[in-house]
């Protein structure tokens, strides 16, 4: 399931996309993805001096890439990603300044069926 999401995100301007728990991290900017229950969690990481770029990617690029995107799982099931409803009021949607790798990041969540 994660493969289709990673491939879709790599079509955007950030090519480094890794599933949560992968060994090592790419150089920023990069994206970490994780499926948790019926949600897709996406963390966008940028160097500390690129907060504007982080915000722009989070607000515009992520929804454009993922809202309504459909892909097929290895077992032939079609999965559609649904937009997060008003991401600005969900808990945990603030910029994180101090990640252990020196980046800043922002999380966005999308609904899965």
CA 11 to chain CA centroid, nearest Å:
13
What is the pLDDT, as a whole number, of residue 25?
A: 87
Domain housing 86: 2-111
Average pLDDT over residues 97-102: 86
pLDDT tens-place string over residues 67-87 = 999 988 888 889 899 887 666
What is the pLDDT, as a whole number, of residue 94?
A: 66
- Give the DSSP H/E element, type plus range, for residue 3: helix 2-9
What is the pLDDT, as a whole number, of residue 113?
A: 74
Residue 29: asked if its preceding bond is cis (omega within 30°), the reply is yes
- Give the DSSP H/E element, type plus range, for residue 18: strand 17-19
What's the domain count of the chain? Answer: 1
CATH code, domain with 6: 3.30.2000
User: How far is 37 from 55, CA to CA, in rounded Å?
Assistant: 26
What is the pLDDT, as a whole number, of residue 74?
A: 83
For residue 102, pLDDT beyond 80: yes
């Amino acid at each position: 399931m994660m493969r289709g999401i990673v491939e879709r995100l790599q079509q955007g301007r950030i090519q480094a996309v890794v599933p949560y728990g992968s060994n090592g991290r790419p150089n920023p900017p990069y994206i970490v993805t994780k499926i948790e229950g019926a949600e897709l969690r996406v963390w966008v990481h940028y160097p500390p001096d690129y907060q504007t770029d982080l915000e722009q990617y989070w607000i515009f690029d992520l929804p454009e890439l993922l809202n309504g995107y459909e892909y097929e799982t290895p077992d032939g099931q079609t999965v559609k990603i649904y937009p997060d409803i008003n991401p600005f009021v969900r808990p945990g949607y603030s910029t994180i300044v101090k990640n252990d790798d020196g980046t800043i990041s922002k999380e966005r969540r999308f609904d899965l069926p």
